[in-house]
Amino acid sequence: MSRENVATVAERASAVEQALTAKGRLEEGALDGIAQLEETLDWHNGAKVVARAWTDAEYKARLLSDGTAACAELGFEGPQGEYIVVLEDTPECKNLIVCTQCSCTAWPVLGLPPDWYKSPEYRARVVREPRRVLREMGLILDPDVRVRVWDTTAETRFLVLPIQPKGTEGWTEAELAPLVTRESMIGVALVSGPGWANGMSKIDRAGTIHSGE
């Protein structure tokens, strides 16, 4: 068969969509709706939620009481965000999210899950040896800090509210939001402020680990 006669991926996908629609297995325009939904799934939404909580004590209280409603206040709601529970990090306790069954996240505020979150190794190991997994990912915690692992269920989605970094007191939401990473809202990293150090490391958006100076 010549290459000219080979259908492109887009053409094959379109043919499958048309066939399923014709058989009544797929509503017309359903895939367009999914594509439009994916465009709104962005972990930067969660960063805005965190920044608001850091600057607004009343909003933070609502967020911890009813994460779903508080996220919806900022316009972040929808599929996989019907029941969001927000977990507040403290100096004594580090929260960590996993989905041992698949790779569920709170789409409206965390977006689609990163590859490492979906990996069988992370899902299996983090519940058995969370501190070691965190260390391998660049986050070294003091021995007296308790690590609590939260396993996503069929109904519940989690969002970690990380500790606001020192040196950012008085910053605005617009200044704070860029500091927040998806990794910090899953719980495998801290949010670093100006001149971050303390021997910590952080993971950039590409997944590269950088050690603190």
Rounded CA separation 121/118 (Å): 9
C-beta of residue 72 within 8 angstroms of C-beta of residue 47 = no
Q: Is 71 a catalytic residue?
A: no
Q: Is 65 a catalytic residue?
A: no
Residues 6+ apart with CB under 8 A from 128: none
Q: Is 184 a catalytic residue?
A: no
DSSP track, 37-71: HHHH--THHHHHHHHHHHH-HHHHHHHHH-HHHHH
C-beta of residue 72 within 8 angstroms of C-beta of residue 182 = no
- Residues 41, 47, 51, 56, CA torsion sign: positive
| Number of Cβ atoms within 10 Å of the Cβ of 69 | 12
| Number of Cβ atoms within 10 Å of the Cβ of 100 | 15
Q: Is 104 a catalytic residue?
A: yes
Choosing from 71, 104, 184, 192, which is the catalytic residue? Answer: 104
Read off the DSSP letter of residue 25.
Answer: S
Q: 């920044």: which residue's tokens?
A: 51
Q: Angle between the 57-65 and 44-55 helix axes, to the nearest 10 degrees?
A: 120
Choosing from 14, 65, 93, 102, which is the catalytic residue? Answer: 102
Active site residues: 99, 102-104
